[in-house]
Structure 1
Amino acid sequence: MRTLLVGINAKYYHTNLAIRNIRKFCHPYDIEIFETTINDSTDFMLESVVEKKPDVVGISCYIWNIEISLNLAENIKKILPKTILVLGGPEASYDVDNLLSKGFVDYIVLGEGEIAFKELLEALEGKRNIKNVSGISYKFNGQIIIQPQKNYVNLDEIPISYEEEENLDNKLAYYETSRGCPFKCAYCLSSIDNKLRYESIEKVEKDLKWFVDRGVKILKLIDRSFNANRKRAKEILNIMKKIGGDTVFHCEVNPELVDEEFIEELKGLEKRIQFEVGVQTTNKNSLKKISRTTAVEKSLRGIKLLKEAGIKLHVDLIAGLPEDSFETFSKAFDDVYNLKPDEIQLGFLKVLKGTPLKRKVEEFKIVYDSKPPYEVLYTKDISYQELVILKGIAFLLNKYYNSGKFKKTLEYLENKFKRPFDFYLEFYKYWKENKLLYKNHSLKALYDILYKFSIETLDVNEDLIKDIIKFDFLYFNVAKDLPDCVKEKYEKGQEIFKKYLKDENWLKKNLPQAVGLSSLELSKRVTYEFFKHDVTADFKKENLIIIFLHGEEQTYYAKLIL
């Protein structure tokens, strides 16, 4: 029986862990995987599936692919009517009646897929009575049959999900050391599964070493809260230290549980671990409504400790939560922004099927889009127009702050306002008034727009803001062609630059990283520009040349005072 599992990913570098787990767990069944993305042609997807002539097709369904998945499933059934169609994933598990009524879906796997799918294959081969398969739903004599999941899979029985020969270069690999979540956030599907299950530490060590030995660049641990079990988190951190390598481990942590002891355990991993932190909001009334018993001050302190320890941080905020108004959310924005994490994701509430929040939309007066990803349109606390503004700010936050290429300029401009949110609100208004939104802009154009905003709306020194923008561009980009707003000629610059670059004694003292580099390497990695202010030291007015050397991991610079 030829079986095909289909994963339609959001981006080309993503990999689908669920279908890989099922394939490995169901060995020795003949199971093939077909991965594609939501950006690929649906004709390509259909042709690719049909030409394999599978007996069974399983499709992994999520909010980003459910509409494409259903279209694909329907057309597969039309062309291959004898093929058994099975849907799984969160978008299928909590929409059984609707999906089975469509006529082209034969079975739905409910929740965890490994045991259910294997038993379903056994039933389809006549080795098991379909009534004895737990964790599935199907139609029989016109009636929808639901056979709930009875047992959880032993995580130690799932072999490592990726193939030995699989090329994971430029791919994001996923791994789980546990399942279940100890928290009960009303908007999250993970809150439904409060039974925590763990892989053995021995398996974790073996598997993490497998990824490191294959040179995987980033391994995303999808455990719902890496540090919920402090003892186990410490053991895994020690494994990461023990196996070495260059793999970066991406984990989700609860900042409330971060203290000095946890920070001590991270020492030696600063370059090899990064954390995702879900703050969502700092409005205590809102947190209470969504069943998050967060100690806000403790969470913010945990983020501060991680930042001070040199750990790369990605912090999540969610707009549109119950009891969270435009004003209270703006405060949460400031609370997080002032901690200066590496990235801030300003997301928007999604009313997911199966979540406790979905059952309370009328109580909270939440109005949301009926199409995936079911994003909030407005609530009794925040209007549609206010959410539109926040979406614009989210766009600017991602383009400017999260890119990390505008650091000095943003810091300088933020100080012109009482709080960070006010700066982004004004910047959004500028984009809106000048019809800049919903258009593509090059990186250099983004610098130009920031410059024009500064001189047209703020009381700034034009030469100074040019110098700050120029420094940001040269420090964070290898490109030598400057944005239009800072293009200026300094006739003697090249002569002075070449003189010092050939002076080995000067290089040893001021830019030792350039010593020994060939002329070709220097031409590729070194840039220079004339400045009227020393933007590296309190913006002092002073004529100087700054030479930039772009290394593998960071940029170095040296100053020539004129």
Structure 2
Amino acid sequence: MPRIVISTLNARYIHTAFGLRYLYANMGTLQTDTVLLEFGIQQRPIDIAEQLLQQQPEIIGLGVYIWNVAEITALAAILKQVAPEIRLILGGPEVSHPPDLPQIAELADYIITGYGEISFPSLCQQIIAGHPPAEKIIRGETVALDALASPYAFYTDSDIRQRIIYVEASRGCPFKCEFCLSSLDATAKPFALQNFLQSMDTLYQRGARNFKFIDRTFNLKVDTSVAILEFFLSRMTADLYLHFEVIPDNLPERLKLAIQQFPPGSLQFEVGVQSFDPQIQHRISRKQDNAKTQANLSWLRQHSNAHIHADLIAGLPGDTLENFGHSFDQLFALKPQEIQVGILKRLRGAPINRHNLDYQLRYDPNPPYSVLSTADMSFSDMQRINRFARYWDLIGNSGRFIATLPVLLDEQPFVRFLQFSDALFNTSGSTWQIALKRLFELTYIVMTDSLCVPHETAKHVLEQDYLRNGEKGLPAFLNIAEQTLEKTGIANKRQQLLRKH
């Protein structure tokens, strides 16, 4: 039986715990006494506890994040009830910023803040040797990146076949955007490029095709980013998929030339725009050239096959509902395939917390700690934005309403979709568990009743999108049209198309 278990709860099965693999790779002589177990937040804490205790460990290490802190707290409480003799060690962003600690900290025997690749094995050695440290909170030790053992060998064949493979070519971030924990980093540090590419080649030869880079600033150093892109271009296959987080205002010509060579469906860029308001950008210490950002996003859409996932944040200090709408409209005009409307979260340790008093930032005390209201956006405003974000995922980001969306938004994307969102919620009473057929029916009702879109126009565009989705059965507004056609004895091309579906 292993003496040490390291574990966490992933948000979805397709995710892998990259941090745990780094811990395992760096356990040294304790690696043979260590086992890595992953679970999902959908599993019952009591069932997870049973599986952990079946290993009969002396030490359990748990990774705590904003997305799993509630479930990990429930798990830790069970472990402490039935096996209080086991030493419970916590790590991860949610417990790395004392004294701002969540409730789970009270259940821990030890907490390692920051990076744990060196400090976790050292702590385990001390406990096993019978000389546990007196202090509960241990500051994670950092070392040169080339001193760390590589985690990539510890992706299993099952991981490679079924899950996302997380990789990092660099650590840290040189920017100081206050909403992000990476603002606490001194700079970005690259891993040795040739060693990194050798690891990528090994993963590729094992069959890995879904690579998600967790670097905060992939395109910061053009030589490195071009080299990585060229590495994958030389190994291009129909199923290769790469995800990068990029700086929106830094797209040199050499990088553009490499990006242009990627075929459709192989490249996704996550682009953090967050806000186009210069005053807000200055307030949160975000350096962003808006003109270059807009030019680069426009170039990517016009001259590359990259899929653009662009982020905005609602609830930043000093932002208003109307002003956020201006940022949304500017971003929408650049035509990214996805606009992720995010809500400001209270990350423990993030510098943006210095604005809490001046801008009356009020956060949900429950994870993920989303902002509830600010001095400039009421609770009602934030609830409207929450619903806007959810419905935008269903309508704007899903790709299911290609013909409908231009009619729905007309010349005022934010104002019109906010009006649509309000009316859709009033009609449906829900933002979740809306079947696709029902969503089409509700969209027709709201477009014609609240947005005053002519009935025939709404039917025409919604019919195109509905048939494209290949759903069985007809939504109510098309059923009515079908019955009318049958009563009049008219059998036209449209009717035949409907019957086929």
TM-score (structure 1 length as normaliser): 0.81
Instruction: Classify 1:171/1:358 alpha carbon distance in 2 versus 1 (closer, same or farther; 3 Å).
Output: same
CA distance in 1, matches of 2:288, 2:73: 38
Structure 1: 5+ residue stretches without partners: 132-138, 497-528, 533-543, 550-562
Whether contact under 8 Å (1:114, 1:153) holds in the other structure is no
| Partner in structure 2 of residue 376 of structure 1 | 371
Bigger relative contact order, structure 1 or 2, given CA contacts below 8 A and separation 6+? 2
| Partner in structure 2 of residue 282 of structure 1 | 276
Instruction: Classify 1:222/1:335 alpha carbon distance in 2 versus 1 (closer, same or farther; 3 Å).
Output: same
**Deviation digits for residues 412-460 of structure 1, max 9, x if unmatched?**
2222xx4101211220221233243245211111111111122223444
CA distance in 1, matches of 2:77, 2:436: 42
**Deviation digits for residues 379-419 of structure 1, max 9, x if unmatched?**
1121111111111111110111111000111112222xx41
SS at match of 2:421: helix
Amino acid at match of 1:405: R
Asked if 1:20 corresponds to 2:14, the answer is: no
Query: CA offset at residue 175 of structure 1?
Result: 1.0
CA distance in 2, matches of 1:363, 1:461: 47
Q: 1:312-323 to 2 correspondence within 5 Å?
A: 312-323=307-318
Q: 1:162-181 to 2 correspondence within 5 Å?
A: 162-181=154-173
Whether contact under 8 Å (2:118, 2:141) holds in the other structure is no
| Partner in structure 2 of residue 194 of structure 1 | 186
**Deviation digits for residues 222-276 of structure 1, max 9, x if unmatched?**
0011101111111111111122232201010011002444221212213321100
| Partner in structure 2 of residue 351 of structure 1 | 346
**Deviation digits for residues 347-385 of structure 1, max 9, x if unmatched?**
111111111112331133211122222211111121111
CA distance in 2, matches of 1:106, 1:285: 44
CA distance in 1, matches of 2:403, 2:102: 52
Asked if 1:452 corresponds to 2:445, the answer is: yes
CA distance in 2, matches of 1:414, 1:306: 23
CA distance in 2, matches of 1:65, 1:277: 25
CA distance in 2, matches of 1:386, 1:216: 44
SS at match of 1:364: coil
| Partner in structure 2 of residue 120 of structure 1 | 123
Whether contact under 8 Å (1:21, 1:161) holds in the other structure is no
Asked if 1:77 corresponds to 2:80, the answer is: yes
Q: After alignment, is 355-364 or 344-353 more displaced?
A: 355-364
| Partner in structure 1 of residue 423 of structure 2 | 430
Whether contact under 8 Å (2:100, 2:349) holds in the other structure is no
| Partner in structure 2 of residue 407 of structure 1 | 402
CA distance in 2, matches of 1:546, 1:241: 43
CA distance in 2, matches of 1:50, 1:34: 12
SS at match of 1:168: helix
Whether contact under 8 Å (1:88, 1:111) holds in the other structure is yes
Instruction: Classify 1:170/1:467 alpha carbon distance in 2 versus 1 (closer, same or farther; 3 Å).
Output: farther
| Partner in structure 2 of residue 206 of structure 1 | 198
Instruction: Classify 1:545/1:53 alpha carbon distance in 2 versus 1 (closer, same or farther; 3 Å).
Output: closer
Amino acid at match of 2:221: N
| Partner in structure 2 of residue 511 of structure 1 | none
| Partner in structure 2 of residue 515 of structure 1 | none
Whether contact under 8 Å (1:364, 1:380) holds in the other structure is yes
CA distance in 2, matches of 1:312, 1:240: 17
SS at match of 1:251: strand
Asked if 1:263 corresponds to 2:226, the answer is: no
SS at match of 2:417: helix
Whether contact under 8 Å (1:531, 1:545) holds in the other structure is yes
CA distance in 2, matches of 1:199, 1:147: 23
Q: 1:297-376 to 2 correspondence within 5 Å?
A: 297-308=291-302, 309-376=304-371
Instruction: Classify 1:99/1:472 alpha carbon distance in 2 versus 1 (closer, same or farther; 3 Å).
Output: closer
Instruction: Classify 1:270/1:323 alpha carbon distance in 2 versus 1 (closer, same or farther; 3 Å).
Output: farther
Instruction: Classify 1:386/1:458 alpha carbon distance in 2 versus 1 (closer, same or farther; 3 Å).
Output: closer
Q: After alignment, is 81-90 or 267-276 more displaced?
A: 267-276
**Superposition CA RMSD, Å:** 2.7
| Partner in structure 1 of residue 174 of structure 2 | 182
SS at match of 1:331: helix
**Deviation digits for residues 514-561 of structure 1, max 9, x if unmatched?**
xxxxxxxxxxxxxxx9349xxxxxxxxxxx979999xxxxxxxxxxxx
Query: CA offset at residue 486 of structure 1?
Result: 2.0
Asked if 1:58 corresponds to 2:53, the answer is: no
CA distance in 1, matches of 2:272, 2:105: 37
CA distance in 1, matches of 2:471, 2:390: 24
Asked if 1:470 corresponds to 2:473, the answer is: no
SS at match of 2:158: coil
% of aligned pairs identical? 30
The number of residue pairs the alignment matches comes to: 488
CA distance in 2, matches of 1:317, 1:155: 37
Amino acid at match of 2:225: A
Query: CA offset at residue 214 of structure 1?
Result: 3.9
Structure 2: 5+ residue stretches without partners: none
Query: CA offset at residue 20 of structure 1?
Result: 1.3
Whether contact under 8 Å (1:66, 1:91) holds in the other structure is yes
Whether contact under 8 Å (1:156, 1:200) holds in the other structure is no
SS at match of 1:358: helix
Query: CA offset at residue 102 of structure 1?
Result: 5.7
Whether contact under 8 Å (1:184, 1:292) holds in the other structure is yes
TM-score (structure 2 length as normaliser): 0.90
Moved over 6 A (4+): 544-549
Amino acid at match of 2:314: A
CA distance in 1, matches of 2:10, 2:213: 17
**Deviation digits for residues 272-302 of structure 1, max 9, x if unmatched?**
2110011111111111111001111211221
**Deviation digits for residues 467-500 of structure 1, max 9, x if unmatched?**
221111222x233433232242778xxxx9xxxx
Instruction: Classify 1:152/1:57 alpha carbon distance in 2 versus 1 (closer, same or farther; 3 Å).
Output: farther
Amino acid at match of 1:19: L
Instruction: Classify 1:101/1:171 alpha carbon distance in 2 versus 1 (closer, same or farther; 3 Å).
Output: closer
| Partner in structure 2 of residue 530 of structure 1 | 493
Whether contact under 8 Å (1:209, 1:243) holds in the other structure is no
| Partner in structure 2 of residue 7 of structure 1 | 8
Query: CA offset at residue 210 of structure 1?
Result: 3.2
**Deviation digits for residues 134-193 of structure 1, max 9, x if unmatched?**
xxxxx44xxx56546353443763241533433433422211111010111111111111
Q: After alignment, is 25-34 or 327-336 more displaced?
A: 25-34
SS at match of 1:197: strand
